[in-house]
């Protein structure tokens, strides 16, 4: 019987993220077209339509845009948190030597765009939007890499993915620390109690995802009431979901937690016990990924990318966002990477040279999802909001085109000739 090779988890991830990029682009394009069409009023009415949910005498009434940005995006950040935790504990970011390049690049790619934006908007009404050009949208960026096919080394894709995960962690910290309204300490205390319950359940070895789902709903509600942005609940819940595998398969092969590569190989050959063998974190990550990819992110793009060009100015905010994404991101990523390699803290991935790194630096200017998300937190003024969104869309498009063209012309390093 012929054996059909299965894709590795990373290969499946890249393929799904590439498709997510296409969905995001189509959703954003549809929103932009509607906002600049005779149906603009209907599009805006849909954004502001109210939806109420009642439970035990309590009613939660939000607009559709707020349901998407506050609730469904919490699911997105839950997935982000799961990926961050997995990478920190057993992935690329677990090894300090391998993680050094991605961490340095991500930090440089956050600080330089923020500084450039702040410089261009110093003293102006848009000064608070410095966090907008800091993020990289991994779905879009990997989608561009997928269009280039096998000419892109796997090491470059892994580097970009690790960089984007560190980038997401930085974005979560920025949102929590700098884009938070006044705190309701009572609600924050209740959120802390729920989070401790989730951590306690993980400590006791609870593996039923339903338990964490129920606790997550309460956590989201109390975080939402506390003044912190509700999406922070997703990251906090992710930190509580257990990663440890305790299964008959593990005992059968007598593997330690450090033997993750051998265990993963065993799992691929034992599909009948896959569900039991996976940790709750892995199961939840695989469960959420299609919903986030095919529903949450396209819906977010549709609700937030509808910028009407009529009345939208090209002011300092737009200039700051475009400059931060198109110039600041590649300068920060490349500069920090070069310093890390120069001082021996890291080395380039196998099969990767500086021209390829330059192309990836340009692709990191694809901000989109998190950049639009921070835009909504940074500005309440409609004019500034439109300026910033226009900057995000323009900067993302320019970065994608520049990165694609650059990498299309770049050549990987030549393999050394074999000696006779």
pLDDT in tens, 155-179: 888 888 888 888 888 888 888 888 8
Residue 127 has pLDDT above 70, yes or no: yes
Residue 151 has pLDDT above 90, yes or no: no
Instruction: Choose between 21 and 337: higher pLDDT.
Output: 337
Residue 6 has pLDDT above 90, yes or no: no
CB proximity list for 399: less than 8 A, separation 6 or greater: 325, 326, 329, 362, 363, 364, 365, 366, 367
Residue 97 has pLDDT above 80, yes or no: no
Segment 249-255 shows an average pLDDT of 49
What angle separates helix 9-35 from helix 40-47, to the nearest 10 degrees? Answer: 120
Each residue's pLDDT tens digit, 259-287: 555 656 555 555 445 555 567 887 888 88
Rounded Cα gap, residues 336 and 243, in angstroms: 31
CB proximity list for 14: less than 8 A, separation 6 or greater: 142, 145, 146, 157, 161
Residue 112 has pLDDT above 60, yes or no: yes
Q: Which of 49-53, 56-60, 109-113 has the lowest mean pLDDT?
A: 56-60
Query: Distance from CA of residue 157 to its chain's centroid?
Result: 15
- With CA atoms as reference, report the closest residue to 309 among 49, 34, 45: 34
Mean pLDDT, all residues of the chain: 82
- With CA atoms as reference, report the closest residue to 219 among 205, 204, 234: 234
Rounded Cα gap, residues 21 and 36, in angstroms: 23
Residue 319 has pLDDT above 50, yes or no: yes
Cα torsion through 278, 279, 282, 287, rounded to 10: 80
Q: What is the pTM of this model?
A: 0.78
**What are the backbone dihedrals phi and psi of residue 161, each rounded to the nearest 5 degrees, phi first?**
-65, -45
Rounded Cα gap, residues 385 and 40, in angstroms: 17
pLDDT tier for residue 380 given thresholds of 50, 70 and 90 = confident
Q: What is the pLDDT of residue 152?
A: 82
Segment 129-153 shows an average pLDDT of 83
Residue 255 has pLDDT above 70, yes or no: no
What angle separates helix 354-363 from helix 138-147, to the nearest 10 degrees? Answer: 130
């Amino acid at each position: 019987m012929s054996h059909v090779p299965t894709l590795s988890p990373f290969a499946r991830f890249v393929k799904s993220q590439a498709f997510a990029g296409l969905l995001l682009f189509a959703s954003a394009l549809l929103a932009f077209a509607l906002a600049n069409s005779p149906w603009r009023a209907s599009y805006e009415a849909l954004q502001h339509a109210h939806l109420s949910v009642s439970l035990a005498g309590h009613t939660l009434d939000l607009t559709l845009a707020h349901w998407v940005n506050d609730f469904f995006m919490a699911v997105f950040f839950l997935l982000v948190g799961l990926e961050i935790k997995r990478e920190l504990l057993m992935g690329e970011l677990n090894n300090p030597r391998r993680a050094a390049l991605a961490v340095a690049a991500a930090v440089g790619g956050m600080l330089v765009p923020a500084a450039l934006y702040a410089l261009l908007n110093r003293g102006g009404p848009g000064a608070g939007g410095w966090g907008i050009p800091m993020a990289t949208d991994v779905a879009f960026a990997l989608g561009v890499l997928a269009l280039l096919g096998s000419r892109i080394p796997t090491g470059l894709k892994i580097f970009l993915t690790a960089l984007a995960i560190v980038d997401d962690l930085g974005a979560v910290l920025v949102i929590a620390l700098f884009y938070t309204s006044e705190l309701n300490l009572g609600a924050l205390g209740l959120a802390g109690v729920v989070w401790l319950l989730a951590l306690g359940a993980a400590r006791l070895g609870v593996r039923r995802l339903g338990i964490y789902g129920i606790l997550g709903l309460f956590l989201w509600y109390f975080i939402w009431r506390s003044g912190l942005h509700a999406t922070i609940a997703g990251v906090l819940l992710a930190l509580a979901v257990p990663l440890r595998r305790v299964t008959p398969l593990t005992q059968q092969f007598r593997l330690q937690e450090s033997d993750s590569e051998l265990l993963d190989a065993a799992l691929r050959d034992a599909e009948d016990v896959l569900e039991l063998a996976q940790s709750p974190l892995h199961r939840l990550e695989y469960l959420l990924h299609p919903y986030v990819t095919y529903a949450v992110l396209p819906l977010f793009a549709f609700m937030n990318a509808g910028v009407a060009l009529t009345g939208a100015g090209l002011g300092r905010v737009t200039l700051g966002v475009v400059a931060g994404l198109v110039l600041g991101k590649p300068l920060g990523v490349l500069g920090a990477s070069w310093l890390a390699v120069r001082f021996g803290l890291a080395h380039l991935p196998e099969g990767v040279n500086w021209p390829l790194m330059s192309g990836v630096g340009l692709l990191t200017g694809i901000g989109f999802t998190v950049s639009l998300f921070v835009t909504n937190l940074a500005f309440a003024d409609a004019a500034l909001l439109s300026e910033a969104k226009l900057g995000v869309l323009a900067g993302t498009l320019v970065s994608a085109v520049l990165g694609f063209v650059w990498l299309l012309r770049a050549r990987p390093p030549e393999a050394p000739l074999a000696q006779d």
